[in-house]
Structure 1
């Protein structure tokens, strides 16, 4: 029987189990997530997709207001745990819904787990009692040997530099995480300091109840500046990055753009969330050469951010434009770029959209397996290869303020 057939059988067992008996909504959700996981390995469906395609919500569904999908996912997660703790304790295939994602996972039960493991442990205990003194002699010998080995390991480990320790951690940790994540994020995991995430934090004048606009240095001299706002896309982007780095066993340091300085940039790997129009420090750092953000200053699109394509290749436009400002946002464009830092030993990753929704999509693109694998394939980076500087543009489809799909539409490989 193929692996896919085994997974289908396991889903059928779950659907007919006592744990899910009488819960048609959870069964429907499980069927959908299982089909999506098997058809699109590594890709997590969007909350908006689940709401409209599984639960029949209308097209105006807003996941920021309606938590129905998250609640149902939490219920399903609990039911799966309940099943494997009782009637599914002997099953060889385990189905899980990890927290922070809607991507269902399948994996074999660890060797020795389940009720058989309990019986084996009891039998082993009986054998130890029967062997008596011989077992105790072996235990003492094992403990002594362990002490000697631990001392040797401690001495050897102390001779390695921090970077080598970090690289060893990258190679050995998170064996369940797809290789693409290790390849793409390796440069942000081996430094002596945790990577910094800098989110856009534009300067505004005015007040929310009378109207706000971007600060203009020429017009607003002496005006009170409000620099404590950011976009919803940036908030969700920080959450997505934090989830990925947690799985990679790496902490991140988060800082708003208005408090970031060039001194911070010299000795750290940096991840910028948001375009230079709002993340102003980017203007003082090594920036993109092929694709750049520019604000349209006249005409019906005045004030809109566009992405300029300095060297269009065949079939590419000279600029990438989001939806017009007087229409609902249905299309956006984002830049994903990896650059060398002020110190070439460090890296700068830029994840920025023409709007805050595009910024969210850019971050999600590098936090999901299928899109990461596509990007690495286009960059000709193997599983054991090294990621070099690059610049890319993605086209983002948006529905009701939620990025529902992204497509790589332009790519440039930078110098090594």
Structure 2
């Protein structure tokens, strides 16, 4: 039975449920900041659920969904292929996280541009151990019928089980590595042990124990900014626009449109996506945080910022390294406050960017820039934002440690993991820790000044200014105004 016949014989509530599922996906946190993918999913889903639908062509999607001109050529402009690939990945991310118990599974089979809808009583069965079957509407892929039971392919279940086993092996290896790196006297901590840190006399461990709460595996996310790599191994900055997996060939149209220096890009020849570089300061920051958490018996998860998922945000407290220029998660997740990263011209290097102070207190400046020697232009000082805010659910938190330059990130982390820095922070927030009580820190943004030598050696970091975050203007789901102590 073809798609049209299946749709004709289907009850309308089933199709209506498909439309509701699409709306559920579009409103999810996974798709919240992905406007292009929202647009594409809406278009594909609407076409897929039409009666008598014909297979979708790249040209139709490019012109009708993305507004390309009538002379759009999919051979030279690969936006449809790139964005559809990203949409498949985003749907996978959604169903692995917040959509794992949704009533309908939406997929776009490879080689097709029409969506496939499957009722997920069977999907819930896999997740809940119930082993139920599914019903499906299939469009553009293998034909099926609506209203007939279809058992999901055993190969998919085997793949899912294999993935879980592989992740288990990776997790086991990660535990061994964390144990090896941590102090031998610091086994994986229990909730009571973390509570002991939160109420103890060490101000640094007290601060970070309150930050992680009951999370044994806080996430440290380092920036993985996208570059374009040519055959001479030269890198070109690529600040926005559709991207693909590392090593994939870049569409010349996208390269010229979104690269920071389109004139050079046009002469560079074949270009490939490259996101395997991060700053030296961010690497130092990871080492400092991992070392501290190892001493506390924690096993941090270290991953690229583009791999942060809604599941991470619900299950873990997250530390984001780098500025919004380099770390996409910072741009998306940092709560707007008085201090903000701005770059007046995205085609210029970040040494010309600044941190603006939208509400200067007495004695504070309205903006802060990297400092350079007037003769040699060697970097002499940097600035960074150190912020802490509530996470997406109660008991989870998000911290940002990001400098205008990579040295700022290193300096801010040095500040945040040192006794003098945490004490300076507590003083600036007028917070006093009582003996045997947890240190309660309100949500805040701190501006940190970082002193440099030879452009890259961090000599020290100090608190330049600190502002509490106005929680009335944030969108935190728990509405909390402080980092709660670890519960008993």
Range into which the TM-score falls when normalised by the shorter chain? 0.5 to 0.7
The structure 1 residue matched to 2:447, chosen from 381, 384, 393, is 393
CA distance in 1, matches of 2:291, 2:209: 16
TM-score, normalised to structure 1, is: 0.55
Q: List structure 1 segments (4+ residues) > 6 angstroms apart after TM superposition.
A: 298-303
Alpha-carbon contact 1:197-1:252 (below 8 Å) kept: yes
| 1:367 corresponding residue in structure 2 | 417
Given the alignment, which residue of 310, 315, 322 partners 1:267? 315
Equivalent-residue separation in structure 2 for 1:269 and 1:220 (angstroms): 39
Name which of structure 1's ranges 351-360 and 193-202 shifts more when overlaid on structure 2: 193-202
Change (3 A) 1:393 1:209: farther
1:48-127 equivalence runs, <5 A: none
1:221 aligned to 2:254? yes
What's 1:179 paired with?
A: 202
Q: 1:241 aligns with which of 289, 304, 311?
A: 289
The alignment yields a C-alpha RMSD, in angstroms, of 3.1
Taking a change above 3 Å as real, the CA distance of residues 249 and 220 of structure 1, as seen in their structure-2 partners, is: farther
Distance in structure 1 (CA, Å) of the matches to 2:421 and 2:463: 9
Aligned to 1:253: 301
Closer, same or farther: CA 332–286 of 1 in aligned 2, 3 Å: closer
Kept after mapping to 2: 8 A contact 1:178/1:369: no
- Residue range with higher mean Cα deviation, 364-373 or 219-228: 219-228
Distance in 2 separating the partners of 1:345 and 1:379: 21
Q: CA deviation at 1:187?
A: 2.7
- Indicate the residue corresponding to 1:317 in structure 2: 365
Aligned match of 2:279: 231
Q: Show structure 2 runs of 5+ residues with no match.
A: 1-180, 183-188, 242-251, 256-270, 472-480, 482-488
Shift of 1:201: 1.1
User: Structure 1 residues 301, 274: CA separation in 2 closer, same or farther (over 3 Å shift)?
Assistant: closer
Asked whether 1:335 is paired with 2:385, we answer yes
Question: Displacement of 1:288 after TM fit?
Answer: 3.5
Structure 1's 274 and 313: CA in aligned 2 closer, same or farther, altered over 3 A? same
Residues 334, 400 of structure 2: 8 Å contact kept: no
**Distance (Å, rounded) in 2 between the aligned partners of 1:174 and 1:412:** 23
Q: Equivalent residue for 2:61?
A: none
Instruction: Call closer, same or farther: CA 1:225–1:299 in 2, change over 3 Å.
Output: closer
1:381 CA drift (Å): 2.0
Partner of 1:194: 217
Q: Which residue of 1 aligns with 2:337?
A: 289
Question: CA–CA distance in 2 between the matches of 1:242 and 1:392?
Answer: 22
Structure 1: unaligned runs, 5 residues or longer: 1-98, 101-162
CA shift for structure 1 position 372: 1.2
Q: From the superposition, tell whether residues 321 and 172 of structure 1 become closer, same or farther in structure 2 (CA, over 3 Å).
A: same
Question: Over residues 340-370 of structure 1, what are the superposed CA-to-partner deviations in whole Å (9 max), with x where a residue is unaligned?
Answer: 1122431001000000001000111111111
Contact 2:320–2:329 (Cα < 8 Å) also in 1 = no
With over 3 angstroms needed to count, the CA separation of the structure-2 counterparts of 1:236 and 1:207, relative to structure 1, is farther
Larger mean Cα displacement after TM superposition, 327-336 or 378-387? 378-387
Task: Deviation per CA, 1:9-41: give whole Å up to 9, x if none.
Answer: xxxxxxxxxxxxxxxxxxxxxxxxxxxxxxxxx
Please state how far the C-alpha of 1:287 moved relative to its aligned partner. 2.1
Q: CA deviation at 1:225?
A: 1.6
The size of the alignment, in residue pairs, is: 254
